[in-house]
A = this chain, B = another copy of it.
Amino acid sequence: MIFIINVELFIFPTKKQMKNIKLLLSYDGTGLLGWQKTPLGPTVEQHLENALSKILQEKIKLQAASRTDAGVHAEGQVINFFTEKQKIDLEKLQKSINALLPPQIAALLIEEMPQDFHPTLNNRGKEYRYFLCNESFQKPKHRLFSWHFPYPLDLEKMEAAALYLVGTHDFSTFCNELPLSKKNPICTLNSLKIEQIEENRFCFKVEGDRFLFRMVRNLVGTLAYAGAEKLELSEISSLLETRKRKFAGVTAPAHGLHLMKVFY
């Protein structure tokens, strides 16, 4: 094992000789099929890989802090890649990337990182925001970025419900993936705040160390159900214990969700 690695060091450029480049990405998820490559349509990963391969003329493999779903937006997605190029003008590279990316995706920052930096494994947590409009109609400017949930919402009920969810728990109830047993369902929700940012418009700020599949959208759907009295507080207090997705609220739609920040 040690022998093989040593041989590689002399023959191939290894990760140790490559540069580890980090990008801070923002995207409008409308019309994109999320982060991860799929033959079904355009994704952020595919667009970025195309741009980088064209600029650097080498095969680029991307790693992202969060594999955002189709339609989800990002203001602070963190990704990295390794390049064989030894001399890189980072400012120029950022400009070239932004010139080749479609306008719904942009590289906000670029930085060279230590060899061992990994956007998924190293991150300590993430902040998501979820926007919801609850007028009978939705203002056109919000329609691609907010859930239209046209029912009266009781902010205090939502805040009371959120208190049952903050902390370190088994969040299987809020995971849309089966079988549950395959992954560690224990997550820590550091904070879950609901702000009424204007008349008939709410922002859910969710911060946690890790998130299960569709967990934020299930949390928001459940809080909206609590606010609209489709779920009683007594039901919510025991939701986590049930470990059954069917007892929680609806999965809020993707287009209201925004990945704001990844913490390292």
Residues from 90 to 123 in A contacting B, C-beta threshold 8 Å = 95, 98, 103-108
Copy number in the complex reads 2
A238 interfacial by beta-carbon distance below 8 Å: no
B137 and A141: CB pair below 8 A?
no
A174 interfacial by beta-carbon distance below 8 Å: no
A103 and B143: CB pair below 8 A?
yes
Give the distance in Å from the alpha carbon of A73 to the alpha carbon of B141 in the complex. 9
Residues of B contacting A75 with CB < 8 Å? 139, 141
- Number of contacting residues on A, CB 8 A? 21
* 0 or 1 for each of A11-33: is its CB under 8 Å from B? (1 = yes): 00000000000000011100000
Point out the residue from B27, B103, B143 that lies within 8 Å of A138, measured CB to CB.
B103
A251 CB to closest chain B CB, in angstroms? 20
Residues from 207 to 252 in A contacting B, C-beta threshold 8 Å = none
Give the distance in Å from the alpha carbon of A103 to the alpha carbon of B98 in the complex. 30
A154 CB to closest chain B CB, in angstroms? 22
Residues of B contacting A27 with CB < 8 Å? 140
Point out the residue from B98, B138, B140 that lies within 8 Å of A137, measured CB to CB.
B98
Instruction: Say whether, besides A28-B143, A143-B28, A137 and B107 are in contact (CB < 8 Å).
Output: yes
A106 and B140: CB pair below 8 A?
yes
A103 and B26: CB pair below 8 A?
no
* 0 or 1 for each of A73-95: is its CB under 8 Å from B? (1 = yes): 10100000000000000000001
Interface residues of A (CB under 8 A from B): 26-28, 73, 75, 95, 98, 103-108, 136-141, 143, 145
